[in-house]
Structure 1
């Protein structure tokens, strides 16, 4: 049965979280320690939004061994936690925009390719955790289409909007019949957002768009 919820699903990295302020250092240090690369900052930034498994193959190659993958994961997590604890920043106006959307009755969720615990930790460091009604991390299918589908199954919303900066977000929206708002200020290239229903250049633009959508 359809609920009365007007659900907005937000991607995290490149949408709410200015990930590069800590993640670039974490990736650089990991790749240097493992003797992998070189990779440019642009190449690293292009990975933001992908799954961890995809990153492993991108940086270490398709023939990566289980031990190499494990070492990469442990090393990246160590540098990631260290860097994030010192530098963590959301985009301008994120908190006030989320607050306004909540006050106007929207049901706010996270739909991310990151693991659940990592999402929670990041949101708490950004002081954004309390704005969200539900958090959906990566599913066993390792595909954001299924992550958004889980939110739809759980909440059966009256309206569904996906907000994100990458092609993964657009595809999730398309496959779940959601309106897609593309974030041009994030990490996606223009090509990834060319089929978006709306494109925004700052997070607060969502408020006026939502008044049109529902």
Structure 2
């Protein structure tokens, strides 16, 4: 197997737990619309496919009008942008793992369906921005995961071939994007997966981010 030369990370549910800030922004929008509030568990089931899909799922679940989706998404993005990192936290072991990977000399990237500006805000607020050589947001390209284009853009920026890269995510769209791009895939067993982790089709599953290190060390020496 070709030695590993780059790691690509999903953001929400993989590096950071952003559910509370997303819930707060969603509920602020719903309150403006006179709709019921959604629970944290409900929001977690809606996360992963970009802001528009989150808003659509929330509106449908609470009996709102999907025909107004473009207007509602725009309003949601304004609400969320102002408070995207109030309660968002890195998962246990994430900063230490990223530091160890950088010591190995591996270029790192984030490929997320979250808007780019909110992604940068979160990474900077958590002190994680400096670990990443490139960041591809959900609005960087017309396509989003599970389309391979965002993953391929990150690899092009890093100067690494797909077969020498590994994608780490928590959901089906991460694994599908990796597969479509010709990249190896690893999934965490926490996060916001919409299906059982064993059914995601990843090459490996890890329970915590530090569990990634022995996998990486073995693959870089392959």
**TM-score exceeds 0.5:** yes
TM-score by length of 1: 0.86
- How far off is 1:64 after superposition? 3.0
- How far off is 1:15 after superposition? 0.7
Which residue matches 1:160? 165
SS of 1:188's partner is: coil
Which residue matches 2:143? 141
CA contact (8 A) 1:184 1:190 kept: no
- How far off is 1:185 after superposition? 1.3
- How far off is 1:164 after superposition? 0.6
* Structure 2 residues not aligned, in runs of 5+: none
Paired residues in the alignment total 209
Which residue matches 1:118? 118
CA contact (8 A) 1:37 1:59 kept: no
CA contact (8 A) 1:90 1:126 kept: yes
TM-score by length of 2: 0.83
CA contact (8 A) 1:5 1:157 kept: no
Query: Residue 211 in 1 paired to residue 217 in 2?
Result: yes
Which residue matches 1:13? 12
Name the stretch that deviates more: 130-139 or 185-194.
185-194
Query: Residue 44 in 1 paired to residue 46 in 2?
Result: no
Structure 1 residues 25, 193: CA separation in 2 closer, same or farther (over 3 Å shift)? farther
Question: For residues 17-40 of structure 1, what are the alpha-carbon distances to aligned partners after superposition, in whole Å with 9 as ceiling and x for unaligned?
Answer: 111232222222322321235644
CA contact (8 A) 2:52 2:73 kept: no
Map 1:39-118 → 2, pairs under 5 A: 39-61=38-60, 64-66=66-68, 69-75=70-76, 77-78=78-79, 80-81=80-81, 83-118=83-118
CA RMSD of aligned residues (A): 2.4
* Structure 1 residues not aligned, in runs of 5+: none
Which residue matches 1:200? 206
- How far off is 1:149 after superposition? 1.5
